[in-house]
Structure 1
Amino acid sequence: MVSYLESQPEGIRCFLQLRDATPGSAITTELCDAVQNSHCWVLLITPSFLEDPWCRYQMHQALAEAPMANGRTIPVLKGIDRRDYPRELRCLYYIDVTRKENGFRQIKDTILRCK
């Protein structure tokens, strides 16, 4: 997904903690800075995401930054059932890339609407 988004002519830049965080900096500081400096947040919700407390913490950080972000938080489901969709996000529409071939394009279009 990141490769697809960053290869688009619109110049979308994604923050990946392992790639973009400053070595030696506090992990939570880097996360909070990334959330504050981003114009939108794509949350890739997978079975692993649902089981990982750190992923849920990151989701809560994004939600705390802009609880009324109106389209800036973009949940993306991959490989989970609707009933497992986090209740914190149930007020937001999501993109399901499990069954849709054009899911990445839909994510890109949504990101571009946020700008």
Structure 2
Amino acid sequence: MALVYRYRWKLRYLYYVARDRYRPVGGGVGGELEFDFDAFVSCSDEDLDFVGKLVCQLEGQGRRLCIHHRDFKPGEPIASNIVKAVQTSRRTLIILSPNFLSSTWCRYEFEMAKMEGVYEARSVILVVKIGEVEAESVPRELLYMMKTDSYTEYPENAVDQATFWIALNEALEN
């Protein structure tokens, strides 16, 4: 039973991949991967005001975003929708806030994105920090990722916000 608990995220990920018999992502020209979305936005429902700005800015620049309340398939299990969203998106954009940290589904989205990165051997997760987040409340794996990889914070200053949107758009390109 301890092994099941230890590998619970890997087992959940593999279960949904096998259950859906998902078509492999790929087959693009010259070995390029093809995706339905540029990013799956993993956020708490309490942060939808920020996500509204994000959608306006990034989709206005031609990005395709997968937003759970808009793009998840009704009638499908939520966990299955999450795995499909992660697999069909080039990146998973974590909107890190105190609300994100208190959400079980947000944690699940993070774990599935982490597993996708491991199994596909590609960089999947981008972190955007909004608001004040206590380091003690951030999961260890996410904190390690933030310390070893770059992440960005949403600035309060309007001039810096313009630069933020440009940089985030470029990060989704790579």
TM-score (norm 1): 0.84
Counterpart for residue 150 of structure 2: 93
Distance 1:2 1:86, change over 3 A: farther
- Structure 1: state its 5+ residue gaps: none
Q: Which runs of 5+ in 2 are unaligned?
A: 1-53
Is 1:4 aligned to 2:65, yes or no?
no
Distance 2:88 2:75 in 1: 20
- Tell me the matched-pair count: 110
Deviates more, 1:78-87 or 1:61-70: 78-87
Partner of 1:77: 129
- Whether 1:29 aligns to 2:80 is yes
Q: Is the alpha carbon distance of 1:109 and 1:86 closer, same or farther for their aligned partners in structure 2, counting shifts above 3 Å?
A: farther
Q: After superposition, where does 1:48-63 map in structure 2 within 5 Å? A: 48-63=99-114
Contact 2:97 2:133 in 1 (8 A): no
CA distance in 2 between partners of 1:54 and 1:40 (Å):
18
Q: Over aligned residues, Cα RMSD in angstroms? A: 1.8
Superposition pairs of residues 99-114 of structure 1, within 5 angstroms: 99=156, 100-101=160-161, 102-113=163-174
Runs of 4+ aligned residues of structure 1 deviating over 4 Å after TM superposition are none
Pick from 110, 116, 126: which aligns with 1:65? 116
Partner AA of 2:63 in structure 1: I
Percent identity over the alignment is 28
What SS class does the counterpart of residue 93 from structure 1 fall into? coil
Greater C-alpha Rg: 2
